[in-house]
Structure 1
Amino acid sequence: MTDETVPDTERSATPLRVFILDDHEVVRRGVRDLLEAEEDIEVVGEASDAREALARVPAVRPHVAVLDVRLGERGGSGGDHEGVEVCRELRARMPELACLMLTSFDDDEALFDAIMAGAAGYVLKQINGSELVTAVRTVATGKSMLDPRTASRVMARLRAPQEEPEVPEEDGLDRLSPRERQILDLIGEGLTNRQIADRLFLAEKTVKNRVSSILSKLGVGRRVQAAVISGRVRSRAADS
C-alpha cells in the first residue's frame, strides 16, 4: 500500500513527512525545530532555493512541503514569487503533495497565484508556532488552510473580470520571437517551466528567462495573465 492510499487511521501511526523551503537559514531552523518537537511530524529535508527543492522533494516524498513565497535577493522587492513557481512545478510532478505557502507579506497577488498553482494553504510568518503546526496537519489531511477573510479575497478575484494588459496584446505579441510565441502557447496549456523545458529540449533556466521576457513584452506581471492572452489568440485562430 502506497503513502497516497494510507487511510487516516493508519497514517496517524506513522510520522507526517514535511519538507521546508526557505532562503533564510534561521527561518528553516526555527520551522524545523518547531515541527520536530511534535511526535507525529518528521522533517525529511530542506532547501534554500528553488533548484534544491525541485531536486530533493521528489526524492524524499514528503506529505507536506512548507514553501517560502519569495526566494533570493529579489524577494525583498516584492516582485518575485519564485516559491509559487516551485509549488506549481512540484504539484505537476506530485499531485498528492500538499503545499503550504509561508510568507512575510500579506500580498493579494502572491495569494491568488499560489492558489492557482495548487497550494493547499497560505499563512503569514507572523502566526504563532501552534498555528503553524495546525496548518501543516490540516493540509496533510487534504483540507484547505485558508481563513474566511483570505478565502473571500480569492473568490472575489476569481469572480472579477480578467484585467486587461497595460500594453495592447497585439503590440505585445508582435514583440515576441518565434520561440517566445511557442513558449507562450505552452504556458496557455498550463505547462510548468520544467515541462516546457522538457518539451522544447531547453534548459529550465533558459525557459524561466524566456518567460520573464514574455511577461515583460506583453506588459503583464503574472503568468496567469499570459495564459489568458494565449487563450484569446487560440480562440481567434479557431474562429478564423
Structure 2
Amino acid sequence: MITVMIVDDEALVRTGLRLILEPAGDIELIAEASDGRQAVDLVRTRSIDVVLMDIRMPGTNGIAALEELTALARPPQVIMLTTFDLDSHIRRALRAGAAGFLLKDASPDELINAIRTVATGDAILAPSVTRRLIADFADHDDAGESSARKRLEPLSPRERDVASAVSRGLSNAEIGRQLRMTETTVKAHVSRSLAKLNLSNRVQLALLAHQAGDPGKS
C-alpha cells in the first residue's frame, strides 16, 4: 500500500484530490495539511511514501517544506502541484529534489499513475511540463556544459548511457529496450549514479545529463 499526504491551503482542492485517490486500491490517504509547516510536522511522525504538495501557499510554502523534507533521513517522494506549467518557483523545487510536477488540472489517471511511479523511486519525466522545465532549466553555455560533464566523470560508460536516456525522458522499460538490458539493471545503474553524484532523484540526474549534452562524450 502506498501511503499519501495531500498538502494544499484550499479545502476544496484537498477534497477533490481525496475523491480521486479513494477508489485506488493500492493508495491510502493517511494525512492532509493546509500548509508546509504542518506537512513537515506530520511527515516526522508518520510513515508517508508520497506527498502531493502545492507550490504556492501562505506561511511555509511548498518549496520551503520540500527543502525540509528532502533533508530528512528517510524523505518521502514529493510531487509538486502547480496551476502554471512554467511556474517561476519550479527551478528551486528541482534543485531541492522534487520527484516530479503535475498541473492541478491533471486527469485522475495521471495523478494516480504519478503517485505509483514516484513510489517506486522513479520520477515524473514524461509529461510535457517536465520536459519543458528540463530544457528551460539547463544552462547551455560552454562553461555550464563543461562543468556538468566534469560532474559526470565518476560514472561508468554504461551509467552515462543510462543517464543520457534518462535526460530524454525515457522510462526504465524504454531504456532497457534501447540499451538491451533488463529494467532491474537500468534501475541499478540509476541508483548507483545517484549515489556517486550525490543526487536526490532521477529528475536531478536528468537535468545534469541534459546540461552535459551527450554524457557519453569525453
TM range (shorter): 0.5 to 0.7
Q: Deviations over 1:192-212 (max 9, x none)?
A: xxxxxxxxxxxxxxxxxxxxx
| Runs of 4+ deviating beyond 3 Å | none
Q: Tell me which residue corresponds to 2:15.
A: 29
**Alpha-carbon shift at residue 153 of structure 1 (Å):** 3.1
CA contact (8 A) 2:83 2:103 kept: yes
Distance in 1, matches of 2:48 and 2:83, equals: 24
CA contact (8 A) 1:85 1:117 kept: no
Q: Deviations over 1:65-117 (max 9, x none)?
A: 11001002x9xxxxxx9201111111101444100011111224222221111
- Residue 55 of structure 1 aligns to which amino acid in structure 2? D
> Which residue of 31, 45, 55 corresponds with 2:31?
45
> Which residue of 69, 75, 81 corresponds with 1:102?
81
Matched position secondary structure for 2:88 = helix
| Paired residues for 1:138-153 under 5 Å | 138-147=117-126, 149=128, 150-153=130-133
CA contact (8 A) 2:69 2:75 kept: no
Distance 1:113 1:41, change over 3 A: same
Q: Deviations over 1:25-67 (max 9, x none)?
A: 0111111121121111101101001221111112112000110
- Residue 51 of structure 2 aligns to which amino acid in structure 1? A
Structure 2: runs of 5 or more not aligned: 142-218
Q: Percent identity?
A: 38
CA contact (8 A) 1:22 1:47 kept: yes
Distance 1:25 1:155, change over 3 A: same
Task: Name the count of aligned residue pairs.
Answer: 140
- The structure whose residues are more often helix, as a share, is 1
Structure 1: runs of 5 or more not aligned: 1-14, 75-80, 162-240
**Alpha-carbon shift at residue 146 of structure 1 (Å):** 2.4
Asked which structure has the greater CA Rg, the reply is 1
**Alpha-carbon shift at residue 152 of structure 1 (Å):** 4.6
| Paired residues for 1:121-132 under 5 Å | 121-132=100-111
Distance in 2, matches of 1:156 and 1:106, equals: 12
Matched position secondary structure for 1:151 = helix
**Alpha-carbon shift at residue 160 of structure 1 (Å):** 4.2
Q: Tell me which residue corresponds to 2:62.
A: 83
Tell which has more relative contact order, 1 or 2 (C-alpha 8 A, sep 6+).
2
Q: Tell me which residue corresponds to 1:119.
A: 98
- Residue 24 of structure 2 aligns to which amino acid in structure 1? E
